[in-house]
């Protein structure tokens, strides 16, 4: 009973944190004159990926590479199939050309990098440094390559309320996700579920709830840039930062036998998203339904 109460409390904190994060980031866009896409790809994406990073570091310290890789793979598939699919069902999502030419190719590339690491069987410290260098280059390119948002208001120097909302939202998301995951893992282990499967399902879904809650709030408001920036940035961050940082703590031994089919599924759904974006530069409701169906097939593959 206590575990279920913790799960419900975690969900409530996640929704509240998502609402606060969206409000704070929208305020930053106005006050700094930044593009909503830049804020989503960096501040929000990295912030909502904080639970994944915290869980991965904890798992690495406990020599549980399976949990780390399961978390990254499961979260990334959930971001594209479940969360983006649901968001597009609520309201069609416009795709800017800069997103198609810059961010979507890197999304597919990082998915391919993940599969290559699975084939290699390990993530060494040197490999991790290369991943972190790629993340730094991408972040710099994002800030330099995106035009400021058009606004009738002049940028305001009073940034304290906006930053307080962003930081407060991220804190609520991280705490809520931690509370949810701890209690969900407790239930899963009582059922005797394998560690890699816990990473792919319970941990992945639990740590993806910050993205889910913030994106559903943004979908309700019709903020396409926020949704795409958050999800694409989060997926890129999950591969480059989480594996990069975790490998500095200790080498990660990963198994193609455990995660190969999930890696292929991630590449497939990333490529499918790029195809959808190219056809009309928007994600229609039927395409959102297709992404959701792909995620349903992925879950069926896991339990089979």
pLDDT digits (tens, 9 = 90+) for 152-184: 445 555 788 888 888 898 888 778 877 877 777
Q: How far apart are CA 140 and CA 100, in angstroms?
A: 18
User: 300: which 2 tokens?
Assistant: 């069926």
Percentage above 90 pLDDT, the chain: 37
Domain ranges of the chain: 2-146+159-303
Please check whether residue 113 is in contact with residue 239, taking contact to mean a CB–CB distance below 8 angstroms: yes
Residue labelled with tokens 């990073």: 53
Q: How far apart are CA 299 and CA 304, in angstroms?
A: 9
Smallest CA-to-CA distance from 15 within 220, 202, 203, 210 is with 210
CATH number of the domain located at residue range(s) 2-146+159-303 in this protein? 1.20.1420.30
Which band of pLDDT confidence, cut at 50, 70 and 90, is reported for residue 112? very high
Please check whether residue 62 is in contact with residue 244, taking contact to mean a CB–CB distance below 8 angstroms: no
Alpha-carbon 298 to chain mean position: 17
Q: How far apart are CA 215 and CA 81, in angstroms?
A: 13
Question: ∠228-230-236 over CA atoms, to 5°?
Answer: 95
Percentage above 70 pLDDT, the chain: 91
Residue 208's pLDDT is 83
Mean pLDDT of all residues in 107-128: 95
pLDDT tens string 5-30: 887 888 788 778 877 877 787 777 66
Mean pLDDT of all residues in 181-192: 74
pTM above 0.95, yes or no: no
């Amino acid at each position: 009973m206590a575990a279920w109460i913790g799960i419900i409390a975690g969900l409530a904190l996640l929704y509240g944190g998502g609402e606060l994060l969206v409000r704070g980031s929208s305020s930053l866009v106005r006050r700094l004159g930044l593009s909503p896409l830049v804020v989503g790809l960096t501040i929000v994406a990295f912030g909502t990926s904080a639970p994944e990073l915290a869980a991965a570091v904890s798992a690495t310290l406990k020599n549980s590479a399976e949990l780390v890789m399961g978390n990254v793979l499961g979260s990334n598939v959930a971001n594209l199939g479940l969360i983006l699919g649901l968001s597009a069902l609520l309201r069609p999502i416009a795709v800017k050309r800069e997103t198609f030419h810059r961010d979507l190719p890197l999304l597919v590339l990082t998915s391919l990098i993940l599969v290559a690491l699975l084939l290699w069987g390990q993530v060494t410290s040197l490999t991790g440094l290369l991943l972190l260098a790629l993340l730094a280059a991408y972040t710099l390119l994002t800030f330099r390559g995106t035009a400021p948002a058009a606004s009738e208001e002049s940028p305001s120097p009073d940034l304290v309320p906006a930053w307080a909302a962003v930081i407060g939202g991220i804190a609520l998301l991280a705490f809520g996700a931690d509370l949810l995951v701890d209690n969900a893992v407790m239930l899963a282990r009582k059922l005797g579920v394998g560690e890699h499967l816990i990473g792919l399902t319970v941990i992945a879904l639990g740590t993806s709830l910050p993205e889910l809650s913030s994106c559903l709030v943004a979908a309700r408001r019709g903020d396409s840039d926020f949704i795409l920036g958050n999800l694409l940035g989060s997926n890129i961050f999950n591969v480059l930062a989480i594996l990069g940082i975790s490998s500095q703590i200790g080498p990660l031994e990963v198994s193609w036998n455990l995660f190969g089919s999930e890696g292929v599924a991630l590449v497939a759904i990333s490529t499918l998203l790029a195809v959808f974006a190219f056809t009309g530069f928007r994600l229609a409701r039927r395409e959102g339904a297709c992404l959701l169906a792909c995620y349903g097939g992925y879950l069926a593959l896991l339990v089979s």
